[in-house]
């Protein structure tokens, strides 16, 4: 099924990986939101549990591993085209965890990675809701 003009929502995961008060962001290399900063993540594969998908996507896009357990949030990401037709519809589940190992390097669907402090989130273009989501779930 296509990501654009789908006939049903696509299921995906995002990972809020944190280390010393910073969160790992990726710059999206593909549409939707190409060039915007976002949490690492992607689509769940058929037969893949959400937690395993989150671990895989984090590893594939950044090369790091985090201690992930239960999801912290699930939300809809829906975009409409200029005619009001659904362009994209993703149901995303967010996992949050501390960095366990690895050096962040952009790969797969990411063109860059960066460790960002919450106070610096508003200085860059992000996918909708990303700064607020990070501030809600980043441990103090």
Catalytic residue flag (residue 112): yes
Rounded CA separation 53/10 (Å): 13
CA 20 to chain centroid: 19
Q: Give me the catalytic one of 20, 112, 119, 132.
A: 112
Q: Which residues are known catalytic residues? A: 112
């Amino acid at each position: 099924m296509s990501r654009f003009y789908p006939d049903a929502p696509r299921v995906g995961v995002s990972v809020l990986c944190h280390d010393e008060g910073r969160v790992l962001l990726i710059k999206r290399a593909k549409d939707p939101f190409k060039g915007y900063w976002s949490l690492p993540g992607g689509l769940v594969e058929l037969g893949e549990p959400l937690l395993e998908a989150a671990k895989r996507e984090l590893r594939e896009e950044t090369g790091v591993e985090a201690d992930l357990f239960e999801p912290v949030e699930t939300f809809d990401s829906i975009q409409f085209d200029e005619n009001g037709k659904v362009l994209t519809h993703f149901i995303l589940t967010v996992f949050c965890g501390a960095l366990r190992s690895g050096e962040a390097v952009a790969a797969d669907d990411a063109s860059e990675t960066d460790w960002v402090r919450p106070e610096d989130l508003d200085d860059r273009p992000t996918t909708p809701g990303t700064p607020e989501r990070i501030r809600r779930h980043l441990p103090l």
